[in-house]
Amino acid sequence: MTRKQRRLTIIGGSLAVLAVAAALVLNAMRDSIVFFSTPSMVAEKQIATGKRFRLGGLVQPGSLVRGDNLAVSFQVADGSAVLPVSYKGILPDLFREGQGVVAEGALDASGVFKADTVLAKHDETYMPREVADALKKQGHWKDDYGAKPAGAASPAPLAQQGAAQTKQGVSQ
């Protein structure tokens, strides 16, 4: 075997080992991937009972009911559909009716979303990107969702440059 053939054999073997390793990693990650859906997407897709996914939308005003032992039920809406959610645990401090929420869990046989994780917006201007995109698609997006509160101090020029670069990276 010549030196060139040996080198090509080593390179080919290395690529084969790398491909097998990548396939094993991707196969292992496939089970942990959780997809995002809105209530109307859940109704359209007819997601199977027990299949894990993330549900996002707005907490329906007047739907929050607190029960015993940290049990909570509420409804998540996206403007055209509503899905009941039940959760047992401590809700985030900023969780409230009329605000954006992302819950992770699965549908039960009765059509109630059983959440094991609930995420709420973390300040007055934040909304998960998936929720904002879904609201824009449904036509329920308000232009003041991303507006700064009145009286907020203007950031330093360096902070503005960083925010502009981040915005460019997100929109691409």
Q: Which residues contact 24 (CB under 8 A, 6 or more apart)?
A: none
State yes or no: pLDDT of 170 exceeds 50. Answer: no
Mean pLDDT, all residues of the chain: 79
Taking each continuous run of H as one helix and of E as one strand, the counts in the chain are 4, 7
The pTM for the full model equals 0.57
**Can you give the pLDDT at residue 22?**
94
Predicted confidence (pLDDT) per residue in 135-148, tens digit: 788 777 666 555 54
Predicted confidence (pLDDT) per residue in 19-32, tens digit: 999 999 988 887 66
Query: Around 170, how many Cα atoms within 13 Å sit in the side-chain half-sphere?
Result: 11
**Can you give the pLDDT at residue 165?**
41
Predicted confidence (pLDDT) per residue in 97-127, tens digit: 888 899 999 999 898 999 999 988 655 556 6
C-alpha angle 31-35-36 in degrees, rounded to nearest 5: 160
- 35 or 132: which carries more pLDDT confidence? 132
Give the number of residues written for the chain: 172
**Can you give the pLDDT at residue 34?**
65
Residue 18: strand pairing partners: none
**Can you give the pLDDT at residue 157?**
41
State yes or no: pLDDT of 2 exceeds 80. Answer: yes
Determine whether 37 is exposed, middle or buried from the number of CB atoms within 10 Å of its CB (0-12, 13-18, 19+). buried
In angstroms, the Cα distances linking 134 to 27, 38, 40, 139 are 29, 7, 10, 9
**What band does 162 get if pLDDT is binned at 50, 70 and 90?**
very low
Predicted confidence (pLDDT) per residue in 67-103, tens digit: 999 899 999 998 888 999 999 999 888 888 888 899 9
